[in-house]
Structure 1
């Protein structure tokens, strides 16, 4: 028994000692660097941003990505917006600088850099210059229903994406290109599949008729990739 306790103590000591020499990207205690190549610790740090607003803002600071913080919006209708920013200027989204929770903005930054642009280069031979979106904040229920739970859009914790414009000027539309064979459809599926790593919920045309013309991504409590 004493030998087991000694071995356990030694293992704990080695683990604690090794933390002193980990690079920041691999140190779970260090702020998430949104610019660094992702690794398994990235996913842990991204999850932590949903639990700690201060850690989320620290991630943008550590990444040297300036963000404009938005004032909190209080509401009696279940449409409060807290710890929000304007999506960073370096993002490709159009219209520019939509309101988003900090954790959604962080996930979007990782998605653009590690999923969207690599998929565009691989399948279409060009980078994405613009991401056409349908909005982030909308005080409403899920599927615009008269009753039911509030949508993640009601707290600026979601974004709907309808199309992508490449640096060549070529446009890829979810509504038009998802059902057709070809590199555009392959690109869209790579984008949908890759988004599932960064966002908690990803819904596309295969989910239901309401999503035939866009991808819905959010950082809410429900998880899914459809």
Structure 2
């Protein structure tokens, strides 16, 4: 009887040790899938990449250092405050991405400035989502992205009362469409519905954005988003809820 218990104990310890070694090996080769590892923009998108990006809010120097290490060219924006909405608007860690270096996409209109966490996610979105989807559906890359802007001192849906929009801190961007290198154009308003490659592409880039942003809202959410994708990095805690619709 004692021998049987001893053998069982050895088996349990052996299985536990094997599982620990497997976990250790996986952690070493897939740090992007673990919540406690540091964010690295050169790594693949993992299970916790989106939460780590949202967690960069208020960490301007660290966020800009990540962009630097990844070869992303940008201009750091001066802090901006506003007396509107009771002084609840403004940002301190804004950046403006520049085409060149590690980035091949322009933003139209020019001069798009966002919070650094939104910009870092845009870079990953280009590399891991937008360009692969464009190549898969059209055989060519995206040259530029059309947008409706980022910073806007307002409350949700422009209401007179209620919670502030993430746009009030430049912590969101509204994407209107994409221009291909060959001149073709895909827009949310025109191409979201349907069965063609344009609609499939738009759903792919929406779904991919959901792995990188705290909130992603599309025409599937409501009429207010019929012509754009809303992408934001709302900070809701390490295990806060994430919205993707």
TM range (shorter): 0.7 to 0.9
Q: CA RMSD in A?
A: 2.8
Distance 1:24 1:74 in 2: 40
What SS does the corresponding residue of 1:153 show, helix, strand or coil?
helix
Matched with 2:44 is: 37
Q: 1:207 aligns with which of 204, 218, 221?
A: 221
What is the CA-CA distance between 1:133 and the residue it aligns to? 0.4
Distance 2:225 2:130 in 1: 19
* Long gaps (5+) in structure 2: 1-12, 236-240
Quick check: 1:137–1:158 contact (8 Å CA) kept in 2?
Answer: yes
Q: Which is greater in Rg?
A: 2
Higher relative contact order (CA 8 A, sep 6+): 2
Distance 2:233 2:132 in 1: 22
Matched with 1:160 is: 174
Quick check: 1:25–1:41 contact (8 Å CA) kept in 2?
Answer: no
Aligned length: 212
What is the TM-score of this pair, normalised by structure 1?
A: 0.82
Matched with 1:94 is: 108
* Long gaps (5+) in structure 1: 1-6
Distance 1:51 1:80 in 2: 12
Q: How does 1:64-79 map to 2 (within 5 A)?
A: 64-76=71-83, 77-79=87-89
What SS does the corresponding residue of 1:112 show, helix, strand or coil?
helix
Distance 1:212 1:40, change over 3 A: closer
1:50 aligns with 2:69: no
What is the CA-CA distance between 1:146 and the residue it aligns to? 1.8
Distance 1:150 1:43, change over 3 A: closer
Distance 1:51 1:136, change over 3 A: closer
Matched with 1:85 is: 95
What is the CA-CA distance between 1:170 and the residue it aligns to? 0.9
Matched with 1:3 is: none
Cα offsets for 1:166-221 (capped at 9, x unmatched): 11111111111111221111111111111000111000001111100111101113
What is the CA-CA distance between 1:78 and the residue it aligns to? 0.9
Quick check: 2:98–2:106 contact (8 Å CA) kept in 1?
Answer: no
Matched with 2:243 is: 224
Quick check: 1:24–1:30 contact (8 Å CA) kept in 2?
Answer: no
Q: Which segment drifts farther, 59-68 or 98-107?
A: 59-68
What is the TM-score of this pair, normalised by structure 2?
A: 0.76
